[in-house]
Amino acid sequence: MIRHVVMFKYQEEAEGNDKKYNLNKTKELLEKLQGKVEEIKYLHVGLNDDEADNSNYDLVLTVDVESISDLNAYQINPDHALVGKFIKKVAMARACVDYRV
């Protein structure tokens, strides 16, 4: 099993919306991938708590897939690519790690 963990830091405003709106939209879009991308075995999206340090990253995505080849298939999936296009417009930083569990 491969765990794919990605964190994003968002712009205060982007695409005509504030950070909170864009974070919630991203969360909704990512959560919809679970039923659309067959390689996903587990998916969770977390948002940094409003009371937590605002220097933290704003969103974390955790996805479990069976193998590296499944991870590669997930990453080029058209539904995933659409979400990625939106994220690239509203995020200003990304950090990622893929590891075996």
Domains, the chain, ranges and CATH? 2-100 (3.30.70.100)
Question: How sure is the predictor about 89, in pLDDT bands with cuts at 50, 70 and 90?
Answer: very high
Residue 52's pLDDT band, with cuts at 50, 70 and 90, is: very high
pLDDT-derived band at 59, boundaries 50, 70, 90? very high
For β-strands 13-14 and 2-10, DSSP reports them as unpaired
Distances (CA, A) of 35 to 4, 46, 80, 85, 92: 17, 18, 12, 19, 28
Q: What is the mean pLDDT of residues 90-95?
A: 99
SS3 77: coil
SS3 84: helix
d(CA 91, CA 57): 10
Structure tokens at 67: 């193998």
Mean pLDDT (whole number) for 70-80: 97
Average pLDDT over every residue of 55-61: 98
- pTM of the predicted model, to two decimals? 0.95
